[in-house]
Amino acid sequence: MAVPTLRVLIDGDSDRTYGQGDKVTGRVAFIAEEQVHINSFKLIFAGSCITRTTRPSTDSHTRKDFEERIRFFSYEREVVPRSTLSPNKYSWTFEFTFPETTQQSYNRLTRGAHYLREPHPLPPSFQIKTSVPGGAAQIAYFVQARITLGGSKGAWKVKQNLSYRPTLRENSLREPNLTTGVLYGQAWKSANRQSRSTVDKVLRRSSNRPPSIVPTILYPEKIAPGQHIPLFISLLNTRDRTNEAQAECVIDSLSVTISTYSTIMCGHTLTQPEDVVSKHVYCIARTNMNKAIAFGKTKALTSNFRLVNDAECVPTFRTYTITRRYVLGITIGIKFKDQVFTVRHNAPLEILPRIPPSLLPSSIEGDDVEPLPVYTPREPSREFAPDYESICALSRTSSTSESLTRWTTTGSSVASGSSTPATEPSTPASEVDEPVYIRQGLVAT
């Protein structure tokens, strides 16, 4: 029995990335070279989450496998009822729509407290491997054709994967809100303390005393790819809040990192192994900045700091067995006179879904593209290639010693079009082919 051909074809670009509410259209192609009996022929549009990991078993030489499969949603459509198809080429069209939320809900008593009780937004397509042997996780969306032929055991499946990533809604597009982090625990006091009498402590103005500096960092908690990530710092001298002494510090260095944490779970309530994959990306590393900052004033640390909209920039999400979160790490080196201290702050950062290109401001779209300068014609000069047409006459001339001498003593003036003396020969004498005469004998017949 010849095996029939089954294919799932998606309309449009095969590399297209879908969002919530987008339609998926295409067709199912089936080619039967002989008569086939179909017991079941269905088309399935679904989203799934698969996690795998291993743990050492009681036997030290083996490991126990854990795997869990979760369905976010599943739409099933019957292509052909139970029937017999003659040899021919068949094609059926289909249309599905990505839902905005998951359809499945799980009981926490049987699945565990980590499982979300209510439906939640669909997570993006995702794939990662852990450092544990056999550890992996995948979030996939696909259209699958499943057919069962008469007399065969099992189903024959053909699947076409789809890339999905949620997009930011228009009403959610706004400038990032800044959160203020006052770091009282990192208050800095000068180490140069001079012993003073009680009378001096009373009479001396507080503005002249060594400062006690409390740093404050302003940062966003939510950001979308392509948006500027504003970071600010402010230093307060608690002993001179109005800065009557007009003192200032110097920002010496700045380091910004974004840490990624992906958590993968398998199993149920009692046996729930968990793997965490972490990655740290150093985004900014500056030294010897020498930026002055007065007490009580706010200083910007970044001017054009944006997330690269690539495959690594996955939006923050939490689903049944996989979570993805980010942490923004800021380290600032500050100088006060001849003393140096460091301010460190870590804060959770939520990466929002990407902004559709139609909603991006023109300034953001053109930031990464530098336009070419407008072309303006200019007068040619000697630095360009010589005009060989003016050097070599188009008409046939005899190769005399005088003509050869002219080649090595004159150059071409591209600007004027006439021959003028040149500083260097246009054609070296070694490259000039001199005529070679061959004496041939005459043979009398």
User: Both 352 and 392 in a single domain?
Assistant: no
Q: Of 307, 338, 356, which residue is a domain's last?
A: 356
The strand pairing partners of 162, in sequence order, are: 141
Q: DSSP letters of 264-294?
A: EE-S-SSS--EEEEEEEEEEEEE----EEEE
CA distance 307 to 350: 12
Residue 305 makes CB contacts below 8 A (sequence gap 6+) with: 228, 229, 230, 231, 256, 283, 284
CB 29 within 8 A of CB 90: yes
Residue 376 lies in a domain: no
Residue 370 lies in a domain: no
CA distance 210 to 189: 7
Residue 438 lies in a domain: no
The reported pTM is 0.73
CB 314 within 8 A of CB 324: yes
User: Both 184 and 146 in a single domain?
Assistant: no
User: Both 348 and 406 in a single domain?
Assistant: no
User: Both 185 and 156 in a single domain?
Assistant: no
User: Both 156 and 180 in a single domain?
Assistant: no
CATH number of the domain encompassing residue 313: 2.60.40.640
Q: DSSP letters of 406-430?
A: HHHH-EE-TTT-SEE--SS-SS-GG
Please tell me the predicted confidence (pLDDT) of residue 50.
95
Number of domains the chain is built from: 3
CB 26 within 8 A of CB 10: yes
The strand pairing partners of 65, in sequence order, are: 54
Backbone φ/ψ region at 246: left (φ over 0), alpha (ψ -120 to 50), beta: left
User: Both 340 and 284 in a single domain?
Assistant: yes
CA distance 336 to 252: 10
Under-70 pLDDT residues of the chain: 1-2, 105-114, 170-173, 192-208, 267-271, 357-445
Please tell me the predicted confidence (pLDDT) of residue 162.
96
Residue 433 lies in a domain: no
User: Among positive and negative, which fits the CA dihedral 424, 429, 433, 435?
Assistant: positive
User: Among positive and negative, which fits the CA dihedral 358, 363, 125, 148?
Assistant: positive
Q: What is the mean pLDDT of the chain?
A: 80
User: Both 92 and 215 in a single domain?
Assistant: no
CB 168 within 8 A of CB 355: yes
Q: Which residue has the tokens 């939510």?
A: 222
Tell me which residue range forms the domain holding 39: 5-164
Query: What's the N-to-C CA distance of the chain in angstroms?
Result: 86
The strand pairing partners of 320, in sequence order, are: none
User: Both 34 and 95 in a single domain?
Assistant: yes
Residue 34 lies in a domain: yes
CA distance 109 to 198: 67
Model confidence over 85-124: pLDDT tens digits?
999 999 999 999 999 999 876 666 666 666 777 889 999 9
315: its two tokens: 């939006």
Please tell me the predicted confidence (pLDDT) of residue 180.
94
Residue 362 makes CB contacts below 8 A (sequence gap 6+) with: none
CA distance 102 to 95: 19
User: Hey, what amino acid is at 294?
Assistant: A
CA distance 198 to 324: 58
Distances (CA, A) of 385 to 388, 411, 412: 9, 11, 10
How many whole angstroms from its chain centre is CA 298? 31
Nearest residue to 137 via CA among 124, 148, 127, 147: 127
Residue 432 lies in a domain: no
3-state secondary structure of 199: helix
Please tell me the predicted confidence (pLDDT) of residue 366.
46
User: Both 300 and 265 in a single domain?
Assistant: yes
User: Both 227 and 348 in a single domain?
Assistant: yes
413: its two tokens: 């003036």
Alpha helix segments (H runs only) across 67-131: 108-111
User: Hey, what amino acid is at 226?
Assistant: G
